[in-house]
Amino acid sequence: MLNKTLYLNEEVFLQDRELKSGRDGFGEAILKLGEEHDDIVVLTADLEESLRLTPFKKKFPNRFIETGIAEQNMAGIGAGIALSGLVPFLTSHAVFSPYRNWDQIRLSICFSNANVKIVGSHAGFSNGPDGGAAESLEDIALTRVLPNLTVINPIDYRQTKRAVEEMYKMRGPVYLRICKEPTPQITTEKTPFEIGKAYTLVEGTDLTIFTTGTIAYEALEAAKILKAAHKINIEVVAVPTIKPLDKENVIGSAKKTGRCVSLEEHQINGGFGSAISEILAEEFPVRNLRIGVNDTFGESGSYKELKDKYGISSHHVVEAILNMLKEK
């Protein structure tokens, strides 16, 4: 079922599969980068342990800045550090950065095209127990509208590590959206990753699911169910880079299957599904059913409970696709 050319994890559907979080991947990757490059500076807004930064702080205390709960100041400081020739990584929960400091990100970072890397952790429902106020369900919309800003939403722990490495290499501002909750590992050490590229995880002919972030596992699970129970061949395309979007692969898959669904752990308005729909409307008009959070805030609950309640778990995706295919 899985695309063998991508060297994906064949054990991803097992009950005892490996679960690891994006924030752990970030912590490990930034420590390794810090060891290899002395121009990296890490800033955080009172979230050192939450972003897995303690090892970096201990090893490189002179390249670690604790700003306190001051996300706006952190963005301004980061812009100044970048303009002096260093590479700052601004770290916080996604619901704080880019929310509270959006104006500073826009003017101090994006307007000047400063080489600042913004890391928003605990994205989507992955901070569920803290309630709706702590759930970032609008950050893709907030960031993809900003000129010069690249937006990345990795599908698992290993891809997060690759994304951190690649975003360091590129010049210009980047927003990295990562998950707190441990999730199934879809990729392996051999799986390719390039900023700006989409990847076909499963090849199909009847319908395409475009997905981004760790919710990609639910898309894979839905594709597996639809094939086994209904003989429907679903193509699953993971889009870890939301901006710039890989138009060629998106349009190519839409032309191949003729029907599209987008799945995201975010508001459907202005988010990933909107980005997919915009490209399809302009380049290859075809229906795209957007599955995500529909104009409402979240609430307190476990990650599994919230995905289920808000209609983005695999069985909801299966139901939505079956209903879509019944339509003429």
Pairing of the two strands 207-211 and 234-238: parallel
Question: What does the alpha-carbon distance between residue 131 and residue 260 come to, in Å, rounded to a whole number?
Answer: 32
DSSP letter for 15, please. T
SS3 content of the chain, % helix, strand, coil (to 5): 40, 20, 40
Which residue matches tokens 């009847």? 206
Reported residue count of the chain is: 328
Burial 52-76 (b: 16+ CB within 10 A, else e): bbeebbeebeebbbebeeebbebbb
Distances, alpha carbon 223 to alpha carbons 88, 125, 149, 215, 269, in Å:
40, 22, 32, 13, 24
Question: What does the alpha-carbon distance between residue 193 and residue 112 come to, in Å, rounded to a whole number?
Answer: 28
Nearest partner of 44 among 21, 60, 20, 64, judged by Cα? 64
Backbone angles phi, psi at 177, to 5 degrees: -105, 120
Amino acid of residue 149? L
18 tagged catalytic: no
Would you say 318 and 225 are in contact if contact means Cβ atoms under 8 Å apart? Answer: yes
Q: SS3 for 209?
A: strand
* Sign of the alpha-carbon torsion through 94, 95, 100, 102: positive
Would you say 242 and 144 are in contact if contact means Cβ atoms under 8 Å apart? Answer: yes
Question: What does the alpha-carbon distance between residue 284 and residue 3 come to, in Å, rounded to a whole number?
Answer: 25
Which of 28, 71, 221, 265 is an active site residue?
A: 71
Catalytic residue list: 71
